[in-house]
Amino acid sequence: MAADEQYLMTTTKTSPIAAYEAEGVWVTDADGNRLLDFSSGVGVLNVGHCHPDVVAAVQEQTARLMHFAGTDFYYESQTVLGKRLGELTPGDFPKKVFFTNSGTESAEAALKLVRWQKQRPLVIGLLGAFHGRSMGSLAMTASKPVQRARFNAHTGGGTHIPPPYCYRCPYKLTYPSCDLYCAKILKELYFETAVPPSDVAAMIAEPVMGEGGYIVPPKGWHTTIKKILDEEDILFIDDEVQSGIGRTGKMFAIEHHGVVPDVVTTAKSLGGGLPIGAIIARKDLDYPTKGAHSNTFGGNLVSVAAAQAVLNVIEKEHLLDNARTQGAYLVQRLKELQRKYEVIGDVRGLGLMVATEFVEDPKSKAPAVALRDQILVEAYQRGLILLPCGKSTVRYIPPLIIQREEVDEGVDILDAAIGAALRAR
């Protein structure tokens, strides 16, 4: 850790855990401690650490051919994966895929594509959203001031509306009597004032807002928004970088919301630990000219082999079903904890994309930031790896292979961690 501080730039470190090896849902650190991973390496290891099928696919491909640049030459395996991703994403129409190396690069690729096609300058996003940290995606990221401070002058073209966050409704309304004002406001206020729809190429949104606090939009929000966008011929980009590849119990979380996006972005878990991302777009949105967009490593052969293995494992081991089953059980156990600790203001999520929001008390709902941070410390000291999100929220995103006993073990540690954090106040 001292060497990290000396030689590596400051990033987003959350806990002093130095991983040495891992298997399934368990990580062993440099001192030989075994920790239960409820973070999946920041949402990457949906099939678990070092899944033998992924390891075998990577080893086989690495020994044969690692790189030859699929953008300038041809890789058969990219076409097979591209076809498969097109079939896995919603929409019964032809699609095309562009491979990237990360989530932010997927967002960049999507944002460039919609701007090129529409020749309109603006993209609408949500306050609280996270789409990445490179300049283009950062224009749409709005989950914390620190992410944008000193960069604002260099990011452009994004305009944001308040999020569909029922626990803290920005309009202090209540669902469903609110009549989805948070969606309708796009047409009723934004399009009527500062945001001429004829200037808008697309809207980008996460189906469950991730870094912003695991916010699940209420039923009807997506269909209402999509109708408004369709009326103005505005494209819809579905950012599945965190929520996709089975995390919510569906292959892509947008399937919970009943709308069909024009472009889907993915990354994180697709490569089972190797860097790969992709955008899957309506075929007619493809560039008609060469050179408008490309890269060097996108869809690297080894990463593509890993991604195929990941998708095979999800099918073979019925991980969508397991995400739904264990996710429901996890929520049930967290709701039990909520009855014990009134500092748990809200329990929410879809599948195994679950979170609890910590508050000073359920009435004021004042965010309990210091308490949340202390719970993270108490948890890892007891052998549970957790991650924060939002202002005072903890997310629970174990690998989708997790079993009930491990859910119990994690929640029992969390129970002890909350108790200890409360005593330490």
Ligand X SMILES: Cc1ncc(COP(=O)(O)O)c(C=O)c1O
Binding residues vs ligand X (CB under 6 A) = 102-104, 107, 130-132, 206, 210-211, 239, 241-242, 267
DSSP 296: S
Nearest approach, Cβ of residue 163 and ligand X (Å)? 13
Residue 40 or 356 having the CB closest to ligand X: 40
Residue 181 or 214 having the CB closest to ligand X: 214
Nearest approach, Cβ of residue 103 and ligand X (Å)? 2
The SS3 call for residue 87 is helix
Nearest approach, Cβ of residue 267 and ligand X (Å)? 5
Nearest approach, Cβ of residue 179 and ligand X (Å)? 28
CA 371 to chain centre: 24
- Measure the CA–CA gap between 320 and 307, rounded to whole angstroms: 16
Residue 352 CB neighbour total at 10 angstroms: 29
Residue 138 or 309 having the CB closest to ligand X: 138
Q: What angle is formed at CA 163 by the lines to CA 100 and CA 120, rounded to 5 degrees?
A: 55
Residue 24 or 43 having the CB closest to ligand X: 43
Query: Residue 8 burial by CB count (10 A; 0-12/13-18/19+): exposed, middle or buried?
Result: exposed
Residue 180's nearest CA partner among 170, 194, 193 is: 170
Look at strands 277-282 and 158-161 and give their pairing: unpaired
Residue 22 or 204 having the CB closest to ligand X: 204
Residue 62's nearest CA partner among 371, 380, 281, 304 is: 304
Residue 379 or 389 having the CB closest to ligand X: 389
Nearest approach, Cβ of residue 129 and ligand X (Å)? 8
Q: What are the structure tokens assigned to 164, written together? A: 């569909």
Nearest approach, Cβ of residue 281 and ligand X (Å)? 16
Residue 107 or 355 having the CB closest to ligand X: 107
* Residue whose Cβ sits closest to ligand X: 103
Nearest approach, Cβ of residue 137 and ligand X (Å)? 7
Nearest approach, Cβ of residue 209 and ligand X (Å)? 8
Please report which residue ranges of 34-166 form alpha helices under DSSP H: 40-43, 52-64, 76-88, 103-118, 135-138, 145-148
Residue 95 or 131 having the CB closest to ligand X: 131
Q: Count how many residues are written for the chain.
A: 425
DSSP 189: I
Amino acid at 21: E
- What contacts 131, CB < 8 A, 6 or more positions away? 103, 104, 107, 125, 137, 138, 140, 141, 204, 206, 239, 241
